[in-house]
Amino acid sequence: MKPASQLAPSAVARAVVLAVAGDTAMVRLHDGATVRASVDVDAHRAGETVVVARDAGGWFALSSPTVRARDGSSARLEGDALVVRDAEGRPLVAYADGQLVVHTSGDLALSAGGRVSIRGGDGVQLACEGSAVTLGPELVHVQTPSLEAEGERATLRTEQARLTARAVESSIGRLVQTVEVVELEAQRVVERMRRVYREVEELSHLRAGRIRQIADGAMHLLSGRVVMRAEEDVAIKGEKIHLA
């Protein structure tokens, strides 16, 4: 049991709230004594530092004045936090230790005739159930089960880009690519086309374990000079073979 307070009968002191029950709170004075003090309902929380005073009727907490609007909403200093509550007593805005928190049980809308800017010194995060967008000083991270973007035009400029996916499907009306070097490494490549036109200014080189070409119609080979060499047999088979 804590000793009785040695403070003067009409003392005013700082205290820490230990527990609150209705309009009564147990507080610990700065001299270590624990006393019962009268408080305003819902005005204080356990762990808060309050100023208490004592008169002939006992200890009571000095509460901050409450500012009330016509609709019943109010604003007051609760401990070290400035809290704005609605008419039902639910917190709407709380500010403490440089941190501002906005509470709402419904939708929250931001509307401005000009531009809306949101800035964070360490970053900005937008999150809901299952999805999050995190903006950092050097990184923008998007995490979501499904990502969609739609627009008339899109432009991406970057020094390096990497795409990692289990499967990729694309549907493009016309594709134009201008690259310096193309490297493709795959286990299997399947191409289906109606017509293919390929032009090579210098060398077209193909190296394979086996080569098979099948043409349902005619096959034409036109060259200024043709050299064919085989280390083993050369077989030419046809109903007619013309050499001219």
Q: Which residues contact 178 (CB under 8 A, 6 or more apart)?
A: none
pLDDT of residue 17 exceeding 60, the answer is yes
Q: Is the predicted pLDDT of residue 5 greater than 70, yes or no?
A: no
Residue written as token pair 């230790």: 97
Report in angstroms the alpha-carbon separations of 89 from 24, 42, 70, 76, 84. 19, 9, 14, 12, 9
- Give tens-digit pLDDT for 125-160: 999 999 999 999 999 999 999 999 999 999 999 999
Nearest to 35 by CA among 74, 70, 9: 9
pLDDT in tens, 165-206: 999 999 999 999 999 999 999 999 999 999 999 999 999 999
CATH topology classification for 12-61: OB fold (Dihydrolipoamide Acetyltransferase, E2P) (2.40.50)
31 with 6: CB under 8 angstroms?
A: yes
CA geometry: angle 189, 172, 204, nearest 5 deg: 40
Q: Which tops the pLDDT comparison, 207 or 81?
A: 207
Residue whose C-alpha is closest to residue 31's, from 44, 10, 48, 13: 13
The domain ranges of the chain are 12-61, 65-104
pLDDT score for 208: 94
H helices of 80-179, where? none
Determine contact, residues 29/35, Cβ cutoff 8 Å: yes
3-state secondary structure of 95: strand
Q: How far is CA 70 from CA 67, 77, 166, in A?
A: 10, 19, 59
